[in-house]
Amino acid sequence: MMNALISLLLVLGLIPLDFDPTKTPIPIGHRGLLHYAPENSMAGFQACIELRIGFELDVRRAGDGTLVCLHDATVDRTTNGLGSIDDRSVQQLKTLDAGSWFDPVFSGETVPTLEDVLSLLKGDRGSGILVAVDLKVDDTSMADDVVGLARRVGVLDRLVFIGLTIENPDLRRRIRQADSKAHPAVLSESPEQFEAALVDPCSDWIYVRAIPSAAEIDRAHARSKRVFIAGPKVAGFESVNWREAARSGVDAVLTDFPLQFRKTFRTTP
C-alpha cells in the first residue's frame, strides 16, 4: 500500500525531488497526510517520512494509560467503534478498524500508539524529520511519560511539543524538567505575548497564528528560539501566505497541504 501511495503522489507531481529544505520553512503535515491517508495513521506517517516531510500527531491516553495517537476523545469519527477511548485498553483499541472510514483500501489500519509512530523515526530513516506532538490531555505523569518515551526511542531532539503545552506554563516546565533537551512551544498571539515568549524560560519554539515580521523572526532567532506557524493563515492551500511566511523567516509551517506547500517552493517545473 505504501508503494502505491508514493507512486500516486509521484504521478500527481507532488514530490519535488529538487526541494532544498534549507531555503524554506519545514512543512508539517497536519495529522500526517490527511488528504491521502487516514489522519493519525501509520500509513500517513510512514508516507511523510518517505517523502521527508514533517508531521503533526495527537496524543491521548487509552484506558490502561498507554499513549495513543487520536485526535478525538472518542473513537466514533475515525474508527468503526463507538465510545470514549478512556473505556478501552490499547489492546481493545487495536481491534478497531481505523482506516476504512477514509477509504476501503486502508482497511485494517489500527490506532497507533505513540511508541509505534516514534519508532518509525529511529536511526537515519527519520533524520531531518520534525514531529509536532499535540498533547490533547495532561496529567501528573504525562510530561515524564511522553518525554521519557521519546528519549528511550532516541528521537527527543526531533520533537516539538504543542497542544496544551503552548498555553500551560506548568506543563512546559514539567516537560523541561523531564529533560532539558526537550523542545516545548509557547503561544504568541499579540505583541505582548511575543515579548513574553522571547524570554519564556521553558520553551525554545514560539507558536504563532499570524505571519510575523522578519524583524520579529530575527529577534526570536537571536534568542535561539524558532518560530512555528499554524492556524487559518496557513492550514489551507495558501500559497501566498506560505511565501510570505517563508520571506519572514518562519522555521516551520503546519498545514493540511504539506505536499502542495513543498511544490510551491520548487525551483523547476
For 76-115, the pLDDT digits (tens) are 999 999 999 999 999 999 999 999 999 999 999 999 999 9
Burial annotation 31-70 (CB, 10 A radius, 16+ → b, else e)? bbbbebbbbbbbbbbbbbbbbbbbbbbbbbbbeeebbbbb
Quick one: pLDDT band at residue 17, thresholds 50, 70, 90?
Answer: very low
In 101-178, alpha helices (H): 114-119, 142-153, 169-178
Kindly give, in sequence order, each residue whose CB lies less than 8 Å from that of residue 61, ignoring residues fewer than 6 positions away.
67, 68, 85, 86, 137, 139, 142
Q: What is the pLDDT of residues 192-227, one digit of tens each?
A: 999 999 999 999 999 999 999 999 999 999 999 999
Q: Is the pLDDT of residue 127 over 90?
A: no
Kindly give, in sequence order, each residue whose CB lies less than 8 Å from that of residue 20, ignoring residues fewer than 6 positions away.
267
Average pLDDT rounded to a whole number, residues 243-250? 96
Q: What is the pLDDT of residues 29-60, one digit of tens each?
A: 999 999 999 999 999 999 999 999 999 999 99
| DSSP 3-state of 18 | coil
**Taking all residues of the chain, what is their mean pLDDT, rounded to a whole number?**
92
Cα dihedral 166, 172, 176, 178 sign: negative
Task: Supply the pLDDT for residue 265.
Answer: 87
**C-alpha cell of 11?**
504521478
| DSSP 3-state of 136 | coil
